[in-house]
A and B are shown apart, each in its own frame.
Chain A
Amino acid sequence: MILVKDLTRIFEAGNQDVLAVDHVSFEVQPGEVYGLLGPNGAGKTTTLRMILGLLKPTSGDAEVEGFLVSSHPDEIKRRVGLVSTSAGLYQWLTPHEILSFFADVYGVHPLQAEERIEKLSRLFDITSFLDRRTATLSTGQKQRVNLARSLIHNPPVMLMDEPTRGLDVVGSKVIFDYIDLLREEGKAVIVCTHRLDEAEQLCDRFGLLYYGKKNYEGTLAELQQCTSCQTLTQIFLQLLDAPLEPAGILPTAQEELI
């Protein structure tokens, strides 16, 4: 479903070149929630943006449902939903107008769009303020509108960037339920987060990024077995203690398969 092949991105910072993402490869299957984990600045968001075609990779490519982002960026965008905490909503429009607008631009049939708006509104409990100006909504309400927006075109792939950042327990619970829903719907999901405790509950498989490099990959059980640590946090701390390019890095799950 999602195939990331040797994605690399180099940024220029002054006179220096910074390697933000270094030959990252992984695969996500339908119905699987993949956690892309790492400390701040590890290259998680950059990887996500490259998959979606918002950022050009320096080298490498990503593939969604058989389409390469380098050659068919629009086909990828049609098939991907994006949930990002930094994503805002149009403050002068109502949630209903925002949902209709995104249905239009993703080419959802108007009748089907109305049907979906109704269902998604019920699902995310936004019906009561569907016709209120977005600027007047609370953070939680806005977050629910944003989740509904990401699903309006029923994408097979969902990319989530720090979805729980700045949310309270109730808000986080909404996200957990939402990810469960995505899994049930058979969507391939990538979640970028540095909240390892949450990731443990949310994701089926993990890729640990550190300085742009993917150092570990596997299910929690696999990671526990490889690192002899119990929790993701412990695994992570071990990673941080390790030298920048630790000798004898564990082979990734993918390489094991090969």
Chain B
Amino acid sequence: MASPFDHDSDDRIFTPTKSFRFSGLLRKELREILRDRRTVITLILMPLLVYPLLGVMLQKFFLNQVTHLSEIEYRIVLPNESEGQLFRAMFSQGDELLSAKEKPELEVSGATTTGATPSAGTLAAFKQIKPVVKFMIADEGNHNQSIVSLVREGVVDVGVRYFPIDVTPKKSKEKHPSGRFQLIYGSESGHSRRAAEYVEKRLQAVRWNYRDRLLSQLGESETVPFLTSVSTVKSEMGQATSLVTIVPLILILMTMTGAVYPAIDLTAGERERGTLETLMAAPLPRMWILSAKFIAVLVVAIMTAMVNMTAMLATAYANGLETVLFGEGLTVFVLLEILLLLVIFAAFFSAVLLCITSFARSFKEAQAYLIPLMLISMAPGILGMVPDLKMTLIWAVIPLANIVLLSRDFLLHDAQPLLFFVSVFSTLFYGIVALSLAARIFGTDTILYESETSWSDFFKRSRKTHLAPALNNAMLCLAVMFPVFILSAAFVSRLRDMSISLRLLISGSLTFCLFLLIPLLFARLGGVKLKTGFRWYRPGIFSCLGAILLGFTLWPFAYEIEIFALSDERIESLSKLFESLKLELGAVPLWIKLVSLAVLPAVCEELFFRGYLLSALLNRFSNTWAILASSFLFALFHVIVRDSLFIERFFPSFFMGLCLGYVNILSGSVIPGIMLHMIHNGLLITIASYQDSLSQWEINLENQKHLPLVWLGGSLLMVVVGFFLIRISNRRQSAGSTDLP
């Protein structure tokens, strides 16, 4: 055989970019799944067949109702021809009077006996139903008896008897023929009762019309004791029971249908076909393989859901049912809203299904795992339809239930920003957790070769010691922290009855547990060396001096950024809020405030965000990207305060995150950052506590929006000096021997 590598240029010169290799992987996954006939069947054939069929059924159901309604027939029996004629004349007159009155709403049909036909939209038809009224004459002979028995037997709905009365008006002294119609209906039959009401309404109209005419002849038509008018408000009960609440359930069904097959096929299926071993033998990080598979599943899930949605909406539209689903009809805005929700659902299910199918060694096993999940997922889907179920912070962190309730509120235009934010982010983090778990399991020898040893290993401590945490370990930690953080915020906000000092201490302890104990647990599981993993190195003396200086001088900039991000109205509402807080906080001893708001947050947050998280990020990304990412996450956690969302806190927190991150990278240690953070927070708290004394010195921050330029200039100078000191310290340390890694 001739060598295939003759004249081959040296292959080791080429170092492909990560994106190049990843796109190759993604291309393969997409090709594989989109060419699969079974995908095509779920993607196209299902919606094409199911929805028109469902549409026909729905239409039949609704039209049946409408037809049923349109064919509502009120059978009225009259005693004899002459009385019948009189009654019919009165009835027609009443009907015309009512029709004229309700003209804008009702299509007037000429004759009372014909009734209206359902017009264009089904829902419209619902509103415009006019019953067909049929008159008949009772048998000659014993009229009264036969009328009663006809009603009793249900042969007719209303029986009419006529009792002539001779009335002698006081003025004319002349006898005036009049009479009384007696309406007889079956007390047990709703239909019969409605028929009687229908007839009575028309007869009443004639009576009132007659009376009005008389009054106007007397010139007293204006003398009415009172007038009434009716107006409507949006009812909360009505909203919760709106048909739109079914949309989350439909979204669950649609995205799950789309994601199930590709999730199984790309994991368990690949193993069964024997291609997984070759794939795992390639130099690809497991997270890449999983991410490519995730994107492929997500694409198919979104496509399936979109095809389903299109087919469903087209069916609904064709049958005139869109207003039943969406009050205002199908607007582009509604479509965009649904699309957004669809992506959230699809992403969630793709991650969760991939995680579960990664455990499976065969198609069958995967199916066995997924069936319970599908059934369990239906339950939160129904939550959306539970009336009066309010979305709360706790609901917002419960997987799936959060996006179901979010979808409901979102479509009803009733979603609160905080809950929206928390739901979306917690779902995002759950997705990350699922993918990280999947990456831990997928392609391991347990799954690949059915060895029994490693099943328990997933949750065992890593045998190897790592200097820095792996990125997915840190992300998993973050994903656990986020819902716990939300829950603890909800917990603290419930402790209103306690004294503020106690609440502050509890909040401080929760910060400690959250930002320190959880990362420590993950560090232990991941076998991360604490000193290097949390960047706990001895800093240079100049680094500390620089950090202290920055702690005193960075706040004016954070303050200005916050002011810049705020509108005037928001400042006003916030100052009112702070005013009330200040009164409460005034009573708290300074040391409690310093411990719970400065020392604990500084130590714990720094150890997590600039210690554990940053070292994981530095493992994978450049300094700049690592600082940006950690600052973003740091700011994200600062946006939520107890049970409210303070978007404006994002910018100053992000700014502080950047400064702290930079100080950390420059000094190579987390300790200067802790000092900076502690002084920064402590300074602000102390200023707030001694504001009264300060105002005597003519320093009053409340009355002016911006800080004096001199302050800013001075601070800037000090900030530059601070960073310079840290830089010098770093150089000195690098030159001499250090304990940096």
Contact = CB atoms under 8 A, between A and B. Distances in A.
Interface of A: 10-13, 49, 52, 54-56, 74-75, 77-78, 80, 82, 84, 86-93, 97, 100-102, 104-109, 112, 115-116, 119-120, 123, 149, 151, 153-154, 177-178, 180-181, 184-185
Q: 10 closest A-B pairs (Cβ-Cβ)? A: A104-B24, A88-B274, A109-B14, A77-B283, A119-B4, A92-B35, A74-B283, A107-B16, A181-B1, A88-B273
Contact of A106 (B32, B35, B282, B285): B282
Contacts of A116: 4-5, 8
10 contacts: A54-B445, A74-B285, A87-B275, A88-B275, A92-B36, A100-B24, A101-B24, A101-B28, A105-B283, A108-B14
Contact of A12 (B24, B25, B278, B452): B452
Nearest to A20: B451
Nearest to A118: B4
A54 B454 CA distance: 13
A107 B13 CA distance: 10
B371 interface: no
Contacts of A102: 278, 282
Nearest to A149: B278
A98 to B, nearest CB: 8
Contact of B5 (A12, A49, A56, A154): A154
B11 interface: yes
B2 interface: yes
A105 B24 CA distance: 7
A172 to B, nearest CB: 15
Chain B: number of interface residues, binned into ranges: 35 or more
B19 to A, nearest CB: 11
B165 to A, nearest CB: 90
A215 B659 CA distance: 64
A91 B31 CA distance: 11
A10 B284 CA distance: 26
B281 A52 contact: yes
A119 B484 CA distance: 58
Contacts of A49: 445, 449
Contacts of A52: 281
A241 to B, nearest CB: 31
A181 B2 CA distance: 8
Contact of A93 (B31, B281, B283, B453): B31
Contacts of B445: 49, 54-56
Given A11-B453, A108-B11, A92 B24 contact: no
A180 B283 contact: no
Most A CB contacts (10 A, CB to CB) among B25, B284, B449, B451 go to B451
Interface in B263-284: 273-275, 277-278, 280-284
B27 interface: yes
B15 interface: yes
Interface string B36-66: 1000000000000000000000000000000
Contacts of A54: 277, 280-281, 445, 448-449
Contact of A180 (B1, B4, B36): B1
Given A100-B24, A104-B16, A112-B11, 11 more contacts: A11-B451, A12-B452, A54-B445, A74-B283, A77-B281, A77-B283, A87-B278, A92-B32, A101-B27, A109-B14, A119-B5
A181 B36 contact: no
The CB with the most chain B CB atoms within 10 A, among A12, A106, A107, A153, is that of: A107
A178 B1 CA distance: 8
A36 to B, nearest CB: 17
A112 B5 contact: no
Nearest to B457: A56
A49 B284 CA distance: 16
B718 to A, nearest CB: 47
B3 interface: yes
A106 B32 CA distance: 19
